[in-house]
C-alpha cells in the first residue's frame, strides 16, 4: 500500500473518531450515545466493500490516536503481512451470489452457501468466510427504507466547535490599470456567527482559500470541524491532510444541498445587501479589503437577530475553551512533491533547478516548500531532513572542486545514504564546494 493511500485511510479514521474527541468529561452516557450513532451510519470506507463500523473498531482507532499524543500517523494502516496474496473475491463469484439471493429471497445464508457450492459458484479452492458472503449480500440486496431527508436547524454548542466556509463572487476592482473580478472567501463560527476571517482575492483557487484560512487560524485559534461545499479547492487532499495535522476535521456538504451551510450563505446575503452597495464605482483590491475589515468590525459589535447577542460578545464568552494555533502554522500547510535527483545533483521544481547533496544522487526524495516561499525548499529522504536546497548556479559550479559519490555495486546504489549530521532543517555543505 502506497503512502498516499495510507494517508487517505488515516484521514477517514480521523473523521470517524472526531465526534468522540474530548467528550470524556461529559459522562459515559454521552460517549455511548455518540458511539451508537457512529456505528449506525453507512460509511464509504476507503479500500473496503464494507459500509458499517463496529464499536470495537472505532474505540481501537480512538485509543491509538489518543495514546500517540493525537498523532495522525497512529491511524495509518500497517503493511499487509500476506502481501502478494489476493484477498479479493472474484467479481464473477460476487455477482453470482447476489443473483442467487435475489432469485431466492427467503433462503437463509447456510442454504444459500450450500446451493452455491453445489453449483460450483464457490469452488473448494476459494477460501471465503460466511461473514464475507453475508456482507456482500447485505451490500447489494438490502432495500432502501428511507422515504425522505430529515433536515433540522442546528447550532454548534461552543465557539470554534464548527466553522463554515465558502466563496462568493465579488465586485470588479482596478489593479494595474485593468479591471479584475474578485472573489470573497469567508469563514464563520457556527456558534457565535463571528467572522473568523474574510478577504477578497483575484483568484478563486486553493491558494487564495489557504491564505484566508491561515489568517483565520492565527486570529481565532483552531476549530474542531470545518464545514465546506464540494468546490475543487475544498476537496484538495492537501487541505484535508493539513487540517487533520492540526486536529481539525474537514466536512463536505451533500452535493446540491446548500441548506447545511445556511449561516455562511445568510452572511453572504448581508454582504450583498449592506456592504457592496456602499462601495464606489472604482476601487482597488487593497481598499476593498480595508473597507471590508472595517465593516466586519461593526458587524461583530451589533446584536445578531438569530442569537439576540453581538457575535463578538458571544464568541468571547467561551474564549477560555479555544485551542490556539501553533506558532509555526505555515509548517502544517507546506506542499510535498516527489522528485528524483539527477546524476549532476540537480533536481527540478516549478521551473527552477536546485542543487541537492551528493549523497542523494539517484534517490527519489521529497521536496517540501511553502506556496508563499516557493524557493525555500527542504529536501527530505526516508523521513530525515537533508536541509535547505540552493538554486543551482552553473557558473559557480564550473569553478568548484567536485565531491564524489560512486557506489561500487548495485547493492550499494540501492542502499540508503548515510543520514545527514547537521540538525534537522539546517543547511548542508559538501566538502570541496558549497551548495
* Nearest Cα residue to 202 out of 131, 309, 285, 321: 285
Phi and psi at 415, nearest 5°, equal -75, 165
| Res 221 pLDDT > 90 | yes
Check: CB of residue 182 under 8 Å from CB of residue 153: no
Averaged pLDDT score across all residues of the chain: 81
- What is the tens place of the pLDDT at every residue in 355-380? 988 889 999 998 888 776 778 888 88
> Residue 281: its pLDDT value, please?
86
Provide the percentage of residues in the chain whose pLDDT is more than 70: 80
Residue with cell 487533520: 244
> Bridge-partner residues for 345, per DSSP?
none
| Res 9 pLDDT > 70 | yes
Tell me the pLDDT band of 272, cut-offs 50, 70 and 90: very high
The region of weakest confidence among 25-29, 107-111, 172-176, 412-416 is: 412-416
| Res 223 pLDDT > 90 | yes
On the CB side of 336, CA atoms within 13 Å amount to 18
Give just the sign of the alpha carbon dihedral 239, 242, 246, 250: positive
Regarding pTM above 0.85, the answer is no
| Res 147 pLDDT > 60 | no
Strongest mean pLDDT among 81-90, 116-125, 209-218: 209-218
Q: What angle do CA 66, 69, 70 make, to 5 degrees?
A: 65
Encode burial over 142-178: b for 16+ CB neighbours within 10 A, e otherwise.
eeeeeeeeeeeeeebebbbbbbbbbbbebeebeeeee
In angstroms, the CA 40 to CA 13 distance is: 16
Tell me the pLDDT band of 139, cut-offs 50, 70 and 90: confident
> Residue 89: its pLDDT value, please?
65
Q: pLDDT higher for 155 or 347?
A: 347
Tell me the pLDDT band of 382, cut-offs 50, 70 and 90: confident
In angstroms, the CA 307 to CA 330 distance is: 34
Q: How would you class 318 by CB atoms within 10 Å of its CB: exposed for 0-12, middle for 13-18, buried for 19 or more?
A: middle
| Res 150 pLDDT > 80 | no
> Residue 235: its pLDDT value, please?
84
Q: pLDDT higher for 61 or 80?
A: 61
Q: pLDDT higher for 297 or 373?
A: 297
* Section 377-385 average pLDDT: 86
Candidates 3.40.50.11890, 3.30.420.10, 3.30.1360.150, 3.30.1490.20; CATH matching 162-321: 3.30.420.10
* Section 108-124 average pLDDT: 79
Q: pLDDT higher for 92 or 421?
A: 92
The region of weakest confidence among 61-75, 188-202, 408-422 is: 408-422
> Residue 268: its pLDDT value, please?
93
> Bridge-partner residues for 199, per DSSP?
185
* Nearest Cα residue to 430 out of 373, 387, 384: 387
Domain boundaries, the chain: 3-75, 91-141, 162-321, 334-414
- What is the tens place of the pLDDT at every residue in 175-220? 999 999 999 999 999 999 999 999 999 999 999 999 999 999 999 9
* Section 210-239 average pLDDT: 91
| Res 264 pLDDT > 90 | yes
Strongest mean pLDDT among 52-66, 95-109, 142-156: 52-66
Q: pLDDT higher for 270 or 141?
A: 270
> Residue 190: its pLDDT value, please?
94
The region of weakest confidence among 61-65, 141-145, 306-310, 350-354 is: 141-145
* Section 293-300 average pLDDT: 97
Helices (H), 120-204: 130-141
Q: How would you class 14 by CB atoms within 10 Å of its CB: exposed for 0-12, middle for 13-18, buried for 19 or more?
A: buried
Is 91-141 a CATH 1.10.10 domain? yes
Amino acid at each position: 500500500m502506497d503512502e498516499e493511500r495510507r494517508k487517505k485511510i488515516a484521514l477517514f479514521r480521523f473523521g470517524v473518531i472526531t465526534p468522540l474527541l474530548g467528550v470524556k468529561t461529559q459522562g459515559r452516557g454521552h460517549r455511548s450515545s455518540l458511539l451508537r450513532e457512529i456505528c449506525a451510519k453507512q460509511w464509504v470506507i476507503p479500500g473496503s466493500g464494507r459500509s458499517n463500523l463496529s464499536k470495537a473498531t472505532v474505540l481501537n482507532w480512538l485509543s491509538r490516536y489518543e495514546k500517540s499524543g493525537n498523532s495522525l500517523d497512529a491511524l495509518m494502516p500497517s503493511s499487509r503481512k500476506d502481501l502478494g496474496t489476493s484477498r479479493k473475491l472474484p467479481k464473477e463469484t460476487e455477482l453470482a451470489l447476489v443473483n442467487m439471493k435475489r432469485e431466492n429471497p427467503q433462503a437463509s445464508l447456510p442454504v444459500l452457501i450450500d446451493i452455491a457450492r453445489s453449483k460450483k459458484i464457490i469452488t473448494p479452492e476459494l477460501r471465503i468466510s460466511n461473514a464475507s458472503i453475508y456482507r456482500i449480500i447485505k451490500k447489494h440486496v438490502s432495500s432502501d427504507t428511507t422515504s425522505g431527508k430529515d433536515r433540522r436547524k442546528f447550532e454548534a454548542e461552543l465557539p470554534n466547535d464548527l466553522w463554515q466556509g465558502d466563496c462568493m463572487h465579488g465586485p470588479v476592482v482596478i489593479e494595474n490599470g485593468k479591471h479584475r473580478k474578485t472573489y470573497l472567501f469567508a469563514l464563520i463560527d457556527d456558534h457565535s456567527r463571528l467572522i473568523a476571517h474574510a478577504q477578497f482575492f483575484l483568484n478563486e483557487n486553493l491558494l487564495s482559500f489557504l491564505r484566508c484560512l491561515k489568517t483565520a487560524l492565527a486570529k481565532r485559534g483552531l476549530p474542531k470541524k470545518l464545514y465546506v461545499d464540494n468546490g475543487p479547492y475544498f476537496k484538495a487532499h492537501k487541505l484535508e491532510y493539513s487540517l487533520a495535522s492540526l486536529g481539525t476535521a474537514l466536512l463536505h456538504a451533500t452535493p446540491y444541498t446548500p441548506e447545511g451551510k445556511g449561516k455562511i450563505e445568510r452572511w453572504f446575503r448581508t454582504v450583498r445587501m449592506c456592504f457592496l452597495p456602499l462601495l464606489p464605482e472604482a476601487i482597488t483590491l487593497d481598499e476593498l479589503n480595508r473597507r471590508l475589515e472595517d465593516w466586519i468590525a461593526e458587524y461583530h459589535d451589533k446584536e445578531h437577530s438569530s442569537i439576540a447577542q453581538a457575535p463578538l460578545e458571544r464568541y468571547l464568552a467561551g474564549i477560555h475553551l479555544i485551542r490556539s494555533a501553533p506558532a509555526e502554522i505555515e509548517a502544517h500547510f507546506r506542499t510535498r512533491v516527489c522528485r528524483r535527483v539527477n546524476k549532476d545533483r540537480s533536481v527540478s521544481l516549478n521551473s527552477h533547478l536546485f542543487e541537492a547533496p551528493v549523497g542523494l544522487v539517484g534517490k527519489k526524495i521529497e521536496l517540501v516548500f511553502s506556496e508563499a516561499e516557493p524557493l525555500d525548499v527542504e529536501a527530505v529522504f526516508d523521513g530525515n531532513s537533508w536541509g535547505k536546497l540552493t538554486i543551482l548556479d552553473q557558473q559557480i559550479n564550473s569553478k568548484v572542486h567536485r565531491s564524489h559519490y560512486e557506489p561500487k555495486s548495485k547493492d550499494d546504489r540501492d542502499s540508503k545514504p548515510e543520514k545527514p549530521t547537521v540538525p534537522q532543517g539546517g543547511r548542508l555543505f559538501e566538502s570541496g564546494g558549497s551548495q
